[in-house]
Structure 1
Amino acid sequence: MKSWYHSWVAALRIARRDAWRAKGRSALVLAMIALPIAGVSAADLTARSAELSAEQQAQRKLGAADAQVENAGLGGPILQHPKGVGWAPAADDKDLRLPPSRGNTRDATAGALKAVLPADAELVQESKAHIRVRTPYGLLEVQARELDTAQPMVRGLFTLDRGQLPERHGELIATEAFLEESGLHVGSSVTPRGSTTPYTIVGAYEKPDELRTSELLAPPGTLLAPLDQALQAAGMRGVAVEDSWFVTVGGREGFTWNMVQQANAKGLVVVSKAVLLNPPPNSEVPLFRKQGGSGSEVFPSRATELAALVTVVGLAMLEICLLAGPAFAVGARRSRRQLGLVGANGGDRRHIRAIVLSGGIVIGAAAAVVGIALGLTLTLALQPVLEQQLGTRFGDFDVRPLELLGIAALAVLTGLLAAVAPAVTASRQTVLASLTGRRGVRRAGRVLPVLGLVAIGLGGAIALFGSVSELGVVVVAGGSALAELGIVALTPVLVGLFGRAGRWLPLAPRLALRDAVRNRGRTAPAVAAVLAAVAGTVAVATYDQSREAEERHRYVSQLPDGTGKLVLNEEGGWREVPAVREALSRDLPVAVRADLERIVVGKPDCNQYSIEAGCGLVEVLVPKDRQCPLSGPQAQEIGRDQARALAKDWRCAESSRYVEYSTVVADETLLKALAVTDPGTVQALKAGQAVSFDPRPVKDGKVTLRLVTDSEKAREAEERGEDPPGQDKVFAVHQAPAGAEAYGFRLVLPPAATKAAGLTTVAYGSYFTLDGKASSEQRQRLNGELDWMGVDAALYVEEGFQGGEGMFLLVLSVFAGLVTVGAAGIATGLAQADAEADLKTLSAVGAAPRLRRTLSGFQCGVVAAMGVVLGSAAGLLPGIGLRLAERREQARMYREASFFGFRDTATPYVPVVVPWETLAVLIVAVPLGAALLAALVTRSGGAVARRAAG
């Protein structure tokens, strides 16, 4: 035991001195290990610091209050989750009615609270609503909040950064996110849309859990109630306010679970601090008993997260070992004389292995210290940035020594694993070979290539099986990873095959290729590292471009390319349409503008979603024999095979394009804007005849419109499969040919026909085509005018399918390029260090000075080219396998959807696209760039080598 201990102490001392002598090589390996360790430690610190304790969560949610209470709005008892994140009716009663108004709900909640709370309880009301306010840029939707900030129980809900709290009417404070987004500042005035009263921003605050939330906070009764009155006075929809109450009950126990259940019996939902800190057992939660579950919240499986984490860490360790292993191998060869002296003085193979392994331990330990220190420093320095990215403030800067110690152990283990193969190789050399510097004749092993072939075959079979079986993408990913590891195992043999191409190359590339083949111990790991990085990029590129081709196929244009629409859907917005049309023609390069009107039943301000009294609907009636059998109550009696057949019936065809109104009033200019060029259709509309683009409502050359005065009765009739009651208007109609596309419109009525039928119409908006393309400045100018008008106008211009920006793929490509250049550069640097004597000999016998630079460039390019070629081939397998698995899954979903008669479910189209452009860039540009970079940073001259000491 004493001998073992002293031998390892000596080995560590020798390794430390050797690492200090070879500072460049040691720094290279240390950086490779320390950088991932810094990232892992920073991620651990960030995750732990962002993870709030139960006490911190309760404080940010409730402040100093004991509970927060709100009305569920069911008008009856409920059962709730202990955390207040979900609830359900206590009884299966489908006839529960919502409270008739906000005021009654507020009064009912206050009364229910008084019945539950003790007499000395205190209440603070909070009101929230979404409103729009005017800013220098236009209109901005924000969350408005009313709360008495002087009450002690709200302390902790927000943090006042600067300024003062609002105390009187006309004052409010704003979040930092709102100030940044709106361009306002403390001291500015802001006016809600629909109101003429300006409010002064007297302070800035932040919500620790919602840093990116735009919010305004005002004293109770000073913002939402006056705004609601102003909107209703202007004939506009009022403010939808949500009320809740913060409660303190006194006593040590707080708002107990029994009190929560009593509040649930009154229809109240409660978030209690006492229950958050000490939740009841699942057996005491009625909601869990009713649902038959354990109450576990829906989050990703911890096992899945752990598996993903282990996979990522394992791949990172593999990359580091592949890149650091050759450095230890070269170090062992540079120290072979020293190792030989150890053997000559009685040391055996285990002592040689201990010295080389100690080098990995020393570098790993140093990398652990540097990496963790760097991770701590970065996390502390970037804490404000990290909090903004996460959208929440850290609870505490949580440093967990055991976890950091585990990360440090990971660094030491990585260094140790990287030194295993060089240690075994160095221990097998004889003392004579080590002292004389001879490498001897080494025979390539046969076990590793055989295992590689087996892994490739087995991994490919597993991936293929996963793509056609129910096991899915996990099996495909596992099989692809196994096949990739098999290619890594075959890398030394494949490098040897590449060497056979050297006979046809000029001198410098031939020397570089032969040197790479001769020294496979440092070439193969670098090639394998490049292979792994490139394979991942190619796999993602294959999957990404295949998905983009699928999305392009599924994309449904809402309008012809270059055509736009500007419509007003808000109640009462028809009054602003003329001014909006003028702004459109003034600010955009409009070539054709088609003005649309819509039919109204009842009040002019009603639209098809209005449910107020006096608002009706316009329905296009479809004769019974032309209705789709899959619509209505009869669809429940249709069998599976019949549903599949009916899904292809012309009566069940539905347009996937969306428009606000399927029936509009317009002249033939609309057809021009929609690129409808059929002469008969254009002439019919021009002559005052209605045009139908849907064949189902047309019978005997006529179409029937039903004016429904009671929208609620219309919906009830639709649920029963009946036509809604109302007054009918019959129009002669021209049926557009099947090839004519109206982009969602079913019926276009000419103005003369609607006037003759006595229908009431109001302005709706305009469709238009552009002369060229609208610039960003023109769109901003139009949006600015619309905001100044205060209208809710929806502007849309069809620009065709817009694929992904490819930023993720670009980042992956850059990462693969950096890893490729780095691995090739490491291999090149090690090759130069390993073959320094040969290079100096070349200079001594008359080789040109540029030979060193040329040889270095080709050495780097050769390693990069071999890794890129092998990685490209390896990366296609998982990409194709994942797409095949998706194809099978989507086919299954389509079969199930067709059984239930979903007519909008398209036939699966899951293409496999090979990313030729990405492959071309990787195969050509990356090796060429690596070679040029290596040639530029290499010195062309070198001193003649001195005679080696005997």
Structure 2
Amino acid sequence: MHRWLTRWRASLRIARRDALRHRGRTLLVVAMIALPVFGATFVATTIRSSSPTVATTLQQTLGDDAQALVTVDSCGFVIQQVPTGGRTCLSDQPVEEVGEADIAALVPTGAELVPRREFAVDLSTDDVRISDEVLAAADAERVPGLLSLTSGDVPSAPGEVVLAQRLVDRLRIEVGDAFTIGSGETDTPATLVGITRNGDSSGLAAEGTLPEEGALSRSWYVLGPDAVTWPDVLALNEIGVGAVSRAVLLDPPPRSEVPYYAAFGADSRPGSTIGLVAAVAGIGLLEVVLLVGPAFAVGAKSSTRQLALVAAAGGRPADLRRIVLSAGLVAGLGAAAVGIVLGLLGGAIIYLVQSRGDYPPPNLALPTWELAAIAGVAVGLGLAAAWLPARAASRADVVAALAGRRSEATPRRRVPWIGGGLAVVGLGLAIVGATRATMPMLVAGVLVLEVGLILAAGGIIALLGRLAPRLGAPARIAVRDADRQRGRTAPAVAAVLAAVAAATAGMVYTTSEARAQDASWAPLAVDGTGYLTTYGFTVPGEDAQDLFDEALAAVRAERPELAATPVLGLIPDDPAGFVELWADPDPATVCPDELTEDERVDDERCSSWSVQSGYGWGAQHLVDDGTMVAASGLPGAAEAAQALADGQVLVNDPDLIWPDGLVHLTLVPPRDEAGNEAADPLELTAPAHVVDWQHWTYGLLLSPEVAEQLDPTSLAARVAPVGALLTTQGGLTQADVDEMSRSLADAGSSVDLLVEGLQKSQDTVGISLIVAGAALVIALAATGLSVGLAAAESRPDLATLAAIGASPGLRRKVAGAQAGVIAVIGAVVGVGTGLALGYVLSLWQRTAGNWGALWEFTVPWPAVALLAVGLPALAIGGAMLLTRARLPMVRRIAQ
């Protein structure tokens, strides 16, 4: 053991001195390995900080000394998870009313219970209204430490409220200002007495501020010297009460004593997600090994004479291997230290930035055991990258090395064939996995394909070597050198190939996804058109007109130049009701039930459903005489408006037109109080006009004549406004929306203003350029490393050529040709492989991604061309510019 440690200590000393002697190469290797270490540490820090620690949970939930917070659930029995306090309600248990006395009987004797309630509220001032916030109410003075105030005081009297900073900013008020809290039908005047930091909580009102009957939940703080133990929590669960206990959080029970885990097991992520993440991580780590490997090969080559002296002095092949591996170990340790420090620093910076936002992370939590695992991966990467150069160094010809001659290993011919076979098998697996929507097979196919191409890189270089006699002198020297030194060139080609393939596939996937998202978006009108929606599912039909008039008056007062076109809908009188009306498809176009799954795939009548998104009006069916459709400005709007004016209906599915040329409608009258059908369904026909607008509103749009045939009064429904189209020259902007939203704040929560074309869309050009730029950096780094090694090895040859009359620029041309061999092979094969992978991913999305026919294989040709053409150009130009033209004459020993 002592001898083994001594050998490693000597090897590490040599590796450390060599690293300090060649600082540029060392920094490059450390940076390559530190990059994934930095990313992993940063992600681990961010994930840790996104979840509250036990200390944070205790402070935010229980304050300084509360023993527990117990909450009545809406069922008679719950199963509680530890330590988060998350609960699962068992709905088959009877629901019983639980009161304060029931809870007092199950908590420690003498404990004091302080009520806490939560309310759904609207906060408003004279100018602003904020809807759908949850505000808690409790006696904060009896639960010290519950609020972390940034200014002001704790609320102590009814009407006093503390709010989060984000709500204070939106309300534009300060401590001491008055505002109004709306809960249900009650508006309560309130005063802001304090401000808390932003977080999940909206704030806290003093007890008695809001009416008890409007509470969303009933909770109590448990105060006293005695802890609420895990048996106490289980007893509370049995009556439908959940509890967050200080004692349980600080000392959680074993999993065997938690019924939640016995009933539901541990949470787990889908295997497909784990496999996909593992595949991406594996390819990324393999890329790092391929990039760093040539750097260690450069070091081993430059230390050939030193290693030969060690061998001549009695060193065994294992000692030579250990010396080169020590370089990887030193680089891995250095990269681990640098990457972890930068990752922790980056996570802390992100936390500080996000803590200033509206929803900051709960705390800054640094990873613990994850750091050891990340450091182990960094060391493993260094050792893996140094393994092949270490094996080559241990097998070097000692006599040739001491004499200054170069000995070259004979490449194994079967390796490229194995790689080609693996690439074919991997591509087949990926295609089958994509067409059958089997994620594990798809992931395995992609991995096998990548590994196969890496192994086949040497064979691709050998094929190119057959063209050497037909090339000029610089290119011929470069191609023959690459073929002869495949151990140095193949890893660089593989690294470039993998980087370009991954980048191309990523750009194809991103562009195709953005195209599918655009295709799934169904507009109601042309871009810039405003949608003033005034109807919600909580608005009775008889109130819709008044709400519309109030909202439209507010808009016209703010922007009188806007053209407003009312939008009418068929609205039930009961907000909870709905109109059962649909258009029956032509029976000849319906997918038969007796078809098998394979037959359904080939039958056009059985087309799969695809996702669709867009703005809506709230009402199930619109009624229009052509005015609204004409104002929409969509292609073909004039013909569609005329059809509605003629009494037809609009549909966007040709299969709804029967052979008689009409649409067959089915209407189910409202059910009675017992839920039974009050009358038989009504069937009627109507002429129809087909549009190619994909929005579901145009799936069936009624004309007034057809709506009259339905007799809306007998349906307990009426035709009433649900909103208006707002149009102006040049269209509405986000600034217009912000200005008018203040005027609409008092109209109610059902009123909203949206603008077509302002929805967020993915910046595919920017993403593609970033991906392409990252691939260029990786590929140029790999090319530069290989060219540097080639330059060191070919210096005697080039010096000899210069001695017999070769021009000084020949070395620049040779260096450019050497870079071109690597970059051209990597770019061409990488782009082709990336396109194939992108096509496979497109097949998978069409099969299993719920996009269906909306997903199209879309190639961002400008970015792909940047990789295919720009990479070789940059590599060749950079190699020629950075290479010295003149070399001193060196001693050349015949081989």
Q: TM-score, normalised by structure 1?
A: 0.75
The residue number in structure 2 matching 1:126 is 116
Q: What pairs with 1:3-18 in structure 2 (closer than 5 Å)?
A: 6-18=6-18
The residue number in structure 2 matching 1:575 is 546
Distance 1:836 1:541, change over 3 A: same
Counterpart residue identity of residue 364, structure 1: G
Counterpart residue identity of residue 219, structure 2: W
The residue number in structure 1 matching 2:888 is 944
The residue number in structure 1 matching 2:493 is 527
Tell me, what secondary structure is at the counterpart of 1:767?
strand
Counterpart residue identity of residue 874, structure 1: T
Question: Structure 1 residue 324 and structure 2 residue 287: aligned?
Answer: no
Moved more, 832-841 or 275-284: 275-284
Contact 1:11 1:358 in 2 (8 A): yes
Moved more, 659-668 or 456-465: 659-668
Contact 1:662 1:744 in 2 (8 A): no
Contact 1:692 1:733 in 2 (8 A): no
1:65 CA displacement: 2.9
The residue number in structure 2 matching 1:360 is 328
Contact 2:573 2:718 in 1 (8 A): no
Q: What pairs with 1:448-459 in structure 2 (closer than 5 Å)?
A: 448-459=415-426
Q: What pairs with 1:327-476 in structure 2 (closer than 5 Å)?
A: 327-379=295-347, 383-385=351-353, 391-394=360-363, 397=366, 399-400=368-369, 404-440=371-407, 442-469=409-436, 472-476=438-442
Question: Structure 1 residue 204 and structure 2 residue 163: aligned?
Answer: no
1:503 CA displacement: 5.6
- Partner deviation per Cα, 1:346-373 (whole Å, 9 max, x = no partner): 4443333333333323333333344444
Distance 1:750 1:916, change over 3 A: same
The residue number in structure 1 matching 2:723 is 765
Distance 1:2 1:716 in 2: 89
Contact 1:50 1:392 in 2 (8 A): yes
Counterpart residue identity of residue 204, structure 1: I
Contact 2:121 2:181 in 1 (8 A): yes
Moved more, 662-671 or 846-855: 846-855
Counterpart residue identity of residue 304, structure 2: R
Distance 1:252 1:192 in 2: 37
1:661 CA displacement: 3.0
The residue number in structure 2 matching 1:829 is 788
- Partner deviation per Cα, 1:227-267 (whole Å, 9 max, x = no partner): x9xxxxxxxxxx953232223264645255356535643x5
Tell me, what secondary structure is at the counterpart of 2:689?
coil
Residue 143 of structure 1, aligned match among 128, 133, 137: 133
Counterpart residue identity of residue 203, structure 1: G
Tell me, what secondary structure is at the counterpart of 2:70?
strand
**How many positions carry a matched residue from both structures?**
859
The residue number in structure 2 matching 1:921 is 866
Question: Structure 1 residue 819 and structure 2 residue 778: aligned?
Answer: yes
The residue number in structure 2 matching 1:236 is none
- Partner deviation per Cα, 1:773-821 (whole Å, 9 max, x = no partner): 3334334333343347667433344449975333655543332222122
1:215 CA displacement: 1.3
Question: Structure 1 residue 747 and structure 2 residue 698: aligned?
Answer: no
Counterpart residue identity of residue 72, structure 1: D
Distance 2:638 2:43 in 1: 66
Question: Structure 1 residue 174 and structure 2 residue 163: aligned?
Answer: yes
Residue 594 of structure 1, aligned match among 565, 571, 592: 565
Percent identity over the alignment is: 29
The residue number in structure 1 matching 2:457 is 491
Residue 774 of structure 1, aligned match among 708, 711, 732: 732
1:494 CA displacement: 1.0
1:343 CA displacement: 3.5
Tell me, what secondary structure is at the counterpart of 1:747?
coil
Residue 793 of structure 1, aligned match among 751, 772, 780: 751
Tell me, what secondary structure is at the counterpart of 2:507?
helix
Distance 1:264 1:834, change over 3 A: same
The residue number in structure 1 matching 2:830 is 871
Counterpart residue identity of residue 735, structure 1: P
Tell me, what secondary structure is at the counterpart of 2:99?
helix
Contact 1:599 1:665 in 2 (8 A): yes
1:475 CA displacement: 1.2
Contact 2:648 2:687 in 1 (8 A): yes
1:435 CA displacement: 2.0
Residue 502 of structure 2, aligned match among 525, 536, 557: 536
1:33 CA displacement: 2.4
Counterpart residue identity of residue 37, structure 2: I
Mind listing any 5+ residue stretches in structure 1 that lack a counterpart? 100-104, 229-238, 601-606, 612-616, 630-637, 894-905
Contact 2:465 2:480 in 1 (8 A): yes
Distance 1:261 1:311, change over 3 A: same
- Partner deviation per Cα, 1:468-519 (whole Å, 9 max, x = no partner): 557x121121122112111101112212333445566666555555544444
1:447 CA displacement: 3.2
Distance 1:269 1:915, change over 3 A: same
- Partner deviation per Cα, 1:440-467 (whole Å, 9 max, x = no partner): 4543221322321332233234334434
Distance 1:306 1:801, change over 3 A: closer
Contact 1:161 1:204 in 2 (8 A): yes
Tell me, what secondary structure is at the counterpart of 1:445?
coil
Question: Structure 1 residue 737 and structure 2 residue 708: aligned?
Answer: no
Residue 219 of structure 1, aligned match among 206, 217, 220: 206
Contact 1:661 1:745 in 2 (8 A): no
Distance 1:831 1:842 in 2: 16
Contact 2:351 2:364 in 1 (8 A): no
- Partner deviation per Cα, 1:409-449 (whole Å, 9 max, x = no partner): 43333322222222222333323311232214543221322
Q: TM-score, normalised by structure 2?
A: 0.79
Distance 1:149 1:562 in 2: 49
Counterpart residue identity of residue 704, structure 2: L
Contact 1:88 1:287 in 2 (8 A): no
Contact 2:115 2:139 in 1 (8 A): no
Contact 1:160 1:203 in 2 (8 A): yes
Distance 1:359 1:706, change over 3 A: closer
Distance 1:169 1:762, change over 3 A: same
Distance 1:283 1:524, change over 3 A: closer
Contact 1:159 1:205 in 2 (8 A): yes
Distance 1:11 1:907 in 2: 59
Residue 610 of structure 1, aligned match among 565, 568, 575: 575
Distance 1:309 1:751 in 2: 54
Tell me, what secondary structure is at the counterpart of 1:294?
helix
The residue number in structure 1 matching 2:216 is 242
Tell me, what secondary structure is at the counterpart of 2:703?
strand
1:568 CA displacement: 0.8
Tell me, what secondary structure is at the counterpart of 2:565?
strand
Distance 1:416 1:680 in 2: 72
- Partner deviation per Cα, 1:357-396 (whole Å, 9 max, x = no partner): 3332333333334444444555555553477799433475
Distance 2:820 2:170 in 1: 49
Contact 1:82 1:279 in 2 (8 A): no
Distance 1:567 1:405, change over 3 A: closer
Distance 2:582 2:644 in 1: 21
Contact 2:307 2:320 in 1 (8 A): yes
Mind listing any 5+ residue stretches in structure 2 that lack a counterpart? none
Distance 1:274 1:794, change over 3 A: same
- Partner deviation per Cα, 1:269-305 (whole Å, 9 max, x = no partner): 44444555666788877888xxxx633254316x888
Distance 1:309 1:798, change over 3 A: closer
The residue number in structure 1 matching 2:71 is 70
